[in-house]
Amino acid sequence: MKYEIAGDTLPVVICKLDAGETMITEKGSMAWMSPNMVMETTTNGGVGKAFGRMFSGESFFQNKYTANEGSGVIAFASSFPGSIKAFEVNPNQEYILQKSAFLAGEAGVQLSVHFHKKFGSGLFGGEGFILQRISGNGTFFTEFDGHTVEYDLQEGQKIVIDSGYLAAMSTTCQMDIQMVPGLKNMLFGGEGLFNTVITGPGHVWLQTMPISSVASVLKPFFPSSS
């Protein structure tokens, strides 16, 4: 499989497949494809894994697209202004993603649910109890909100993140929460009560425009129902 990521704030990834190669994706992600791409809707691993994906923000079913009788082309578009990133996963390098970040991947890529080990991180950290875990082998693509900034954290190095800005991290990273210091800061600072703390070693991807923040900004402009 060869690919090209095109576009800036509304990107699309165009994948060129050899005969017999397969891509998996969530429903609604396919933008266009050549007529020889064959689609199959499947639970991809059984009902248990399908429920896990659903809890992590994805759909119960996944779609498989296979190039039939020759090479094929298929494109997957982002659902929100932002960035599409390509990752390589293998048994020695797995990833944790925010909900709904997975866009598409090769057939050897496995998407499953990831639960916070620490109760407080899920309850107060702003990322929720459930995230996505990517394992297996192959190339996969993610969609992040806004632009993406990356940090490579060393052993014990920390970064403090406002809720919603964490897009992805290596599974070697640890996530925890930290209360905003000072009562005045908590009540009037406008940053909420808690921040997310990521500790290395590992790589971290941050997004500059969480969809939750955009929704909060736009909410006052929506007409209220009466």
- CATH number of the domain enclosing 29: 3.60.160.10
How many CA atoms are closer than 13 Å to the CA of 26, on its beta-carbon side? 22
Report the distance separating Cα 10 and Cα 147, nearest Å. 11
Mention every residue, 6+ apart, whose C-beta is less than 8 A from residue 183: none
Residue 191: closest CA among 216, 174, 167, 169: 216
Look at 25 and 53; give whichever has higher pLDDT.
25
Does the pLDDT value for residue 44 go beyond 50? yes
Q: What is the pLDDT of residue 167?
A: 94
The answer to whether residue 1 scores a pLDDT higher than 60 is yes
Q: Between residues 78 and 115, which one has the greater pLDDT?
A: 78
Residue 64 has pLDDT above 70, yes or no: yes
Residue 225 lies in a domain: no
pLDDT at 184 over 90: no
Q: Does residue 44 lie in a domain region?
A: yes
Kindly indicate the confidence band of residue 181, based on its pLDDT and cuts at 50, 70 and 90: low
192 belongs to a structural domain: yes
Beta-ladder partners of 56? none
**Using CA atoms, how far apart are residues 18 and 96, in angstroms rounded to an integer?**
29
Residue 188 counted as domain residue: yes
Q: Is residue 8 part of a domain?
A: yes
Cβ neighbours, 10 Å, residue 36: 15
Q: Once rounded to an integer, what is the mean pLDDT over residues 157-177?
A: 92
pLDDT higher than threshold 50 for residue 54: no
Question: Distance of alpha carbon 98 from its chain centroid, rounded?
Answer: 5
**Residue 92, Cβ density class (10 Å: 0-12 exposed, 13-18 middle, ≥19 buried):** exposed
Residue 67's alpha-carbon distances to 24, 35, 71, 107, 139, in angstroms, are 12, 9, 6, 12, 17
Per-residue pLDDT at 103: 94
State residue 141's pLDDT score: 97
Distances (CA, A) of 125 to 23, 24, 189, 197: 33, 30, 17, 8
Residue 81 resides in a domain:
yes
Residue environment code for 155-194, b if the CB has 16+ CB neighbours within 10 A, otherwise e = eeeebebbbbbbbbbbeebbbbbeebeeeeeeeeeeeeeb
Please check whether residue 108 is in contact with residue 57, taking contact to mean a CB–CB distance below 8 angstroms: no
Stronger pLDDT, 196 or 144, i.e. the higher one = 144
- Counted domains in the chain: 1
Which of helix, strand or coil describes residue 21? coil
SS3 33: strand
Domain presence at residue 226: no
CA separation (Å) from 185 to 22, 181, 189, 194? 51, 7, 5, 11
Taking 50 as the threshold, does the pLDDT of residue 50 lie above it?
A: no
Q: Which two tokens stand for residue 75?
A: 């494109």
Average of per-residue pLDDT across 107-134: 68
Q: Does a structural domain hold residue 49?
A: yes
Query: Which residues constitute the domain of residue 110?
Result: 2-219
Place 45 in a pLDDT band, splitting at 50, 70 and 90: low
